């Protein structure tokens, strides 16, 4: 089964989107670190996604940038890398299911579904990075 991926040049586009999301979400990152440092609770209110807030745009930019990066080809894409990509996706999917189940058992509710998708994409990238470098 062959899957069409984006050209390798789209990796740079994905990285630009991720950097742009960190730039637009800088205030939220700083606020999270400051409240964590002073031991104040950082409550994230349950709300619908509003595209008027900069925080929502940074979340969307991060997610889209990571998707573009994940679905971009490597410089040399062969069957070995395709197999490693499939293994990495499977491991990240099972991992996010386990994390979700543990959070459910602990009674922790995740208010942002994009957080779970971001963790899955990030874990895929980490696992794929190490699987690419395995000796066959």
**36 and 60 together in one domain:** yes
Location of structure tokens 């971009």: 72
pLDDT value for 87? 92
Domain that holds residue 91: 75-136
The answer to whether residue 88 is domain-embedded is yes
State the total domains in the chain: 2
pLDDT value for 92? 92
Residues in the chain: 136
pLDDT under 70: residue ranges of the chain:
1-4, 29, 32-55, 111-112, 135-136
User: SS3 for 29?
Assistant: helix
pLDDT value for 41? 56
pLDDT value for 4? 67
pLDDT value for 10? 92
pLDDT value for 74? 87
pLDDT value for 119? 86
Main-chain phi, psi angles of 73, to 5 degrees = -70, 160
pLDDT value for 114? 72
Give CA–CA dist 136/34, Å, rounded: 45
**129 and 87 together in one domain:** yes
């Amino acid at each position: 089964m062959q899957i069409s991926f984006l050209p390798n040049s789209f990796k740079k586009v994905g990285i630009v989107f991720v950097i742009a999301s960190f730039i637009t979400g800088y205030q939220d990152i700083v606020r999270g670190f400051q409240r964590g440092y002073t031991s104040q609770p950082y409550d994230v209110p349950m709300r619908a996604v509003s595209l008027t807030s900069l925080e929502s745009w940074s979340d969307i930019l991060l997610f889209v940038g990571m998707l573009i990066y994940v679905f971009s080809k490597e410089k040399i894409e062969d069957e070995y890398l395709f197999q490693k990509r499939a293994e990495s996706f499977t491991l990240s999917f099972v991992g996010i299911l386990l994390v979700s189940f543990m959070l459910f058992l602990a009674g922790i509710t995740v208010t942002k579904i994009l957080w779970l998708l971001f963790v899955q994409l990030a874990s895929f990238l980490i696992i794929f990075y190490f699987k690419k470098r395995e000796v066959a």
